[in-house]
């Protein structure tokens, strides 16, 4: 039995309150510059999986394109799994939005396979809201997975294939069902159109001609899927919520009231043999407004760490809106472990030894407890064109929203932020940029053409104050157009990279055609 929620990353993104997505807004998830998932509203306007992001935005200008966040997908799917705890005992999770379970025990308990599927759908809807979940029952994993897409609809979300009928069910389906475009294109050139045609081929001939992957798909098309799954128990939910009888405005009273809930939260994690290195804390005030913050820890949280984070978060909110919270306060607090890690990976060494990260975190937490959590910060690198917008200081212990950007590959970063300065980055950045005169080979001020795409001459000299440097090599110009859709705040500039006679590289730019050149940075 397979339970599938199509396009689960889209469902997870809509559930993320920080994105503020409208219910009917077309949404797409991108990975490596192409569309990986898209909502029905986006598909209705011509957006398709595998399409380039720019082409998708042309087809649907109001499309909200979001970067893929597997952590969010897994976190929200684990919440759904916790809601299935009372419906099914063991499952095998293939990916967020797709699980497999044995149907025989469920059919005996609920009376039939169809009724068991209905119970699963009700449990998913109770936890995740109204989503287009599908359930299919078949002899093989491949047939059941395909049936969730081709044999179910919103009106009939459960499909049960008769025992021994997988090959007959798969036979009339197109070759695109294999989800291997290259193999499907080759088979089409050979005159095959359906899975039945592919299944009729000799297995040895398929292996010799197409390889092992095609051999596996050939077995699946014949209704003989050799793959197996290993079901495991659904872990109990570790989320904990504290609710107060009256709103608490004082941070010390709030910390004291939360202590028992925090300890219960951490005990539940230890019982699941995991520790919490990143926690989401949601504070709900007496007006019903939710204030959420994600906190991280270099090792793992203990009760005092979590309580301190709640206190810092509330003091920061109360400080910014002091007049609004003179009489009100916090009435509900929810703790959620994000990406919990196995406990054995955080056990101390056999001979003890110095845990430098733990000592550093303890010292910083001590400073923050005295001076406030914003008193200690650390630098992060954000996407952007200018150096001043890329370098940001955030409080220690707060998870950066661009962590995935910072740890992604160079290809993904280039696709995520067009026209960003490539590596290697300059070592010395001038803030503010320093004015400089550039002369061409005739000794005239260097200029750009009307479109900014070419230079009026060859860069020959740089004059900065009393210093004159000969230019021996150069590259550019490259246009950097920011906020082109907003004429009131748009900015256009052109960058050049220069190399002087001493082998020192310089990054210079001109704000607009006919403007003045300035030095942004130096490549030491």
Where along the chain do its domains lie? 1-25+62-229, 240-364, 379-416, 428-523
Task: Please compute, for residue 522, the number of CA atoms within 13 A of its CA located in the half-sphere on the CB side.
Answer: 11
**65-99 as b/e, with b when 16 or more CB fall inside 10 Å?**
bbebeeebbbbbbbbbbbbbeebbbebbbeebbbb
Cα gap 399→73, rounded to integer Å: 17
Give the burial class of 520: count Cβ atoms within 10 A of its Cβ; 0-12 exposed, 13-18 middle, 19 or more buried.
buried
Q: Which residues of the chain have pLDDT under 70?
A: 17-18, 235, 320-328, 339, 343-362, 365-366, 368-374, 382-390, 397-420, 450-453, 512-514
Quote the pLDDT of residue 347: 57
Q: Which of 405, 401, 407, 406 is nearest to 295 (CA)?
A: 401
CB atoms within 10 A of CB 142: 24
pLDDT at 469: 86
- What pLDDT was estimated at residue 478? 81
Parallel/antiparallel/unpaired status of strands 240-248 and 341-342: unpaired
Q: What is the pTM of this model?
A: 0.59
The Cα–Cα gap between 54 and 114 comes to 43
Class of domain 240-364: alpha beta
Tokens (6 digits) for 204: 């040895």
Q: Tens of pLDDT along 356-405?
A: 555 666 677 667 666 666 677 777 776 666 666 667 777 776 655 554 44
Give yes or no for a contact between 258 and 244, defined as CB atoms under 8 angstroms apart.
Answer: no
CA atoms within 13 A on the CB side of 339: 12
Return d(Cα 438, Cα 461) in angstroms, integer.
6
User: How far is it, in rounded angstroms, from Cα 279 to Cα 340?
Assistant: 9
Q: What is the DSSP letter of 165?
A: -
Q: How distant, in Å, are the alpha carbons of 87, 192, 205, 219 from that of 184?
A: 39, 9, 16, 15
Structure tokens at 444: 């005239």
DSSP state of 352: B
| Top CATH class, 1-25+62-229 | mainly alpha
- What's phi and psi for 243, nearest 5 deg? -125, 125
| 240-364 matches 1-25+62-229 in CATH topology | no
For the chain, what is the radius of gyration of the CA atoms?
Answer: 29
Tokens of 472: 């021996």
């Amino acid at each position: 039995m397979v339970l599938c929620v199509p396009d689960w990353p889209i469902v997870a993104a809509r559930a993320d309150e920080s994105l503020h997505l409208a219910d009917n807004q077309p949404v797409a998830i991108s990975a490596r510059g192409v569309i990986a998932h898209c909502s029905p509203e986006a598909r209705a306007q011509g957006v398709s999986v595998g399409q380039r992001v720019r082409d998708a935005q042309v087809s649907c200008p109001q499309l909200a394109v979001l970067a893929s966040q597997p952590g969010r997908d897994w976190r929200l799917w684990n919440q759904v799994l916790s809601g299935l705890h009372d419906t099914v005992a063991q499952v095998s999770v293939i990916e967020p939005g797709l699980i497999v379970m044995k149907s025989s025990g469920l059919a005996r308990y609920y009376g039939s396979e169809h009724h068991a599927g209905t119970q699963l759908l009700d449990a998913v809807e109770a936890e995740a809201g109204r989503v287009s979940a599908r359930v299919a029952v078949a002899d093989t994993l491949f047939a059941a997975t395909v049936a969730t897409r081709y044999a179910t609809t919103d009106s009939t979300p459960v499909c049960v294939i008769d025992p021994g009928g997988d090959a007959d069910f798969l036979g009339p389906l197109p070759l695109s069902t294999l989800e291997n475009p290259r193999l499907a294109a080759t088979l089409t050139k050979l005159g095959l159109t359906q899975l039945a045609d592919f299944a009729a081929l000799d297995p040895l001939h398929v292996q010799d001609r197409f390889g092992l992957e095609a051999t596996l798909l050939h077995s699946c098309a014949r209704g003989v899927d050799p793959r197996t799954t290993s079901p495991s128990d659904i872990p109990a939910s570790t989320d904990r919520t504290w609710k107060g009888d009256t709103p608490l405005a004082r941070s010390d009273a709030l910390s004291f009231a939360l202590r028992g809930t925090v300890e219960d939260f951490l005990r539940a994690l230890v019982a699941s043999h995991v520790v919490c290195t990143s926690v989401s804390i949601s504070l709900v005030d007496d007006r019903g407004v939710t204030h959420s913050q994600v906190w991280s820890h270099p090792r793992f949280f203990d009760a005092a760490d979590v309580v301190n984070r709640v206190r810092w978060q509330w003091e920061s909110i109360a400080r910014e809106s002091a007049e609004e919270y003179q009489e009100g306060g916090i009435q509900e607090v929810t703790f959620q472990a994000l990406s919990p890690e196995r406990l054995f990976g955080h056990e101390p060494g056999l001979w003890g030894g110095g845990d430098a990260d733990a000592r550093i975190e303890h010292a910083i937490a001590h400073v923050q407890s005295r001076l406030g959590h914003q008193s200690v910060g650390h630098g992060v690198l954000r996407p952007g064109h200018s150096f001043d917008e890329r370098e940001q200081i955030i409080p220690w212990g707060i998870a950066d929203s661009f962590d995935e950007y910072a740890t992604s590959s160079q290809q993904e970063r280039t696709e995520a932020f067009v026209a960003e300065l490539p590596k290697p980055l300059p070592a010395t950045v001038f803030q503010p940029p320093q004015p400089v005169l550039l002369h061409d080979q005739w000794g005239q001020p260097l200029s750009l053409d009307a479109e900014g795409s070419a230079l009026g001459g060859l860069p020959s000299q740089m004059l900065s104050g009393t210093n004159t440097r000969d230019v021996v090599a150069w590259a550019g110009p490259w246009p950097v157009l920011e906020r082109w859709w907003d004429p009131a705040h748009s900015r256009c500039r052109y960058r050049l990279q220069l190399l002087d006679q001493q082998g020192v590289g310089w990054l210079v730019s001109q704000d607009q055609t006919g403007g003045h050149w300035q030095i942004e940075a130096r490549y030491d």
